[in-house]
Structure 1
Amino acid sequence: MSIAQNFVKHGKKIIAIGRNYDAHIKELGNPPNAEPWFFLKPTTSYLKNGGTVLIPEGVQMHHEIELGVVIGKDGKDIKREDWEQYVAGYALGIDMTARNFQQFVKAKSLPWTSSKGFDTFCPISEFIPKEGIKDPMNLVLSIKVNGEERQRGNTADMIYDIPELIRHCSSIMTLQEGDLILTGTPAGALGLIVHGDKISGRLETPEGELLANWDGDAANRAGGYVFTQKA
């Protein structure tokens, strides 16, 4: 198994794109961005299918369903037209966010990696070889919590498409085999997840063919960091 196929174990970074769907920008009350921007999540936040997302004490946790692009070989300053040469495959990811923690530190102009980087805060599906997806820019993302649909969107609605994300990110930092680019989330990402909730994410074709899924639950974390708004 290659590094890319086993990216959860061997990947070096998770690059998470922010504000890449208009509807999500509007629901958060954020201004539009003039170029793609991103933050990093640690690979220790990966959580395989069937796992339990752990909610730190004091945290209000929200879900952000996203298409993940798995990088297949090292590259920097990648040309837009060469993007597909650097893609090994795809995955369905959920960017869990400690929203109250994030909002608190952002208001103080402090870094907010902590709000995105807790262990278990990146539920991830199995690897999908790129040959298994005909058009990554026309896929349906959805997430249900306790059977109620919270988010549904299509990757066709991205502001910046996958070729542009690869071009942009690689112009700033070298992309390495096994890295994951989370491409942003559609509207509906302000839904709270609490102890005992059942979470079900889906990646499908427009015709309804299931390509990947993540099914698990959430539980309060025992011990570790406690958010008390004293950052």
Structure 2
Amino acid sequence: MKLLRIGEPGEERPAVRTDGGVLLDLSSVTADIDGAFLGSGGLERARAAVDADLLPEFDAGGLRVGAPLARPGKVVCVGLNYRDHAAETKAAVPERPVIFMKDPGTVVGPYDEVLIPRGSVKTDWEVELAVVIGRRARYLDGPDAARDVIAGYAISHDVSEREFQLEYSPQWDLGKSCETFNPLGPWFVTADEVADPQNLGLRLSVNGVKRQDGNARDMIFPVAHIVSYLSQYMVLEPGDVINTGTPAGVALGLSGTPYLRPGDTVELEIDGLGGQRQTFAQA
């Protein structure tokens, strides 16, 4: 299934997108797509309603597409998780996953305007595969157990301000948690429909110029390893999101490539997960 949320901020309604592109109203099953829905068997209820043809069509009528999850409990990020990205930024290949947190309030819709922070001169792009957690996870016993707690996958845009991130603090949070810095969606695809999360192409262009063109098979630490690893140090809850890293092609690693400015347009896509498009504006 492809699950999404339609409507203005704070007024989104849950929906399912069929393989034929028809939107079905999920409001009779749940008030929202969130951690409570995922943690209480919501995906199974939604699938049963779809299979039984119980859901009316959703007349989106040009309405906004919101993030496919109501505000996540937490957004956990993995840095330097592609060898080519580590190389372009002149960073050593990490021996263990590089983990940082991102303010869940940064999560916005896939086509929403993204704000360049005041004083920013190095706002950068990063297309990433996002993992949506569907079951509570603590001290998982390896990758096989990790796969059982994954609800699905989505496109995540881990927008970053590099000066804030790398020059203002020894930790990365300042450059990662600016408002609107994590467009998510347009939907999340349930795990059963993603045959191999390590074989997905990721692409990003800026003003029509391709900047990133990678594949999840080049991750240093695969998805299941990341989920298992994180569960040794924190409890993952239904509705949490994990950003799994970005391939090469960010402005930080492309000498002479300009960072983002107001009016720039960024387009992202991941195989089987749809696409995003954002125009950047001044905060």
Q: Deviations over 1:176-206 (max 9, x none)?
A: 00001111000011262110011110011xx
Return the TM-score normalized by structure 1: 0.88
Alignment partner for residue 148 of structure 2, among 82, 85, 90?
A: 85
Letter in 2 for 1:103: L
Is the CA contact (8 Å cut-off) linking 2:109 and 2:183 kept in structure 1? Answer: yes
Partner of 2:215: 154
Count of residues in Structure 1 that have an aligned counterpart in Structure 2: 213
* Equivalent position of 2:18 in the other structure: none
Could you tell me which residue of structure 2 aligns to residue 57 of structure 1? 118
Identify unmatched segments of 5+ residues in structure 1: 205-209, 222-231
Question: Deviations along 1:47-98, whole A, 9 cap, x unmatched?
Answer: 2021111001221200111000000011101122211110000110011111
3-state SS of the aligned residue for 2:145? helix
Q: Structure 1 vs Structure 2: percent identity of aligned residues?
A: 31
In the alignment, structure 2 segments of 5+ residues that lack a partner are: 1-29, 39-66, 252-256
Aligned residue identity for 2:216: T
Find the counterpart in structure 1 of residue 77 from structure 2.
16
Aligned partner of 2:152: which letter?
G
How high is the TM-score relative to the length of structure 2? 0.72
Matches within 5 A, 1:22-37: 22-37=83-98
Q: Distance in 2 between matches of 1:198 and 1:112?
A: 25
Cα 1:176/1:7, change in 2 over 3 Å: farther
Higher relative contact order (CA 8 A, sep 6+): 1
Which residue of the partner structure matches residue 224 of structure 1? none
Q: CA deviation at 1:7?
A: 6.2
The answer to whether 1:74 aligns with 2:105 is: no
1:115 correspondence with 2:175: yes
Residue 178 of structure 1: aligned partner: 239
Does residue 141 of structure 1 match 2:202? Answer: yes
Q: Tell me, in whole angstroms, the C-alpha distance in 2 between the residues paired with 1:103 and 1:194.
A: 19
Matched, 1:193 2:253: no
Give the Cα–Cα distance (whole angstroms) in 2 for the partners of residues 111 and 7 of structure 1. Answer: 29
Higher Cα Rg, which structure: 2
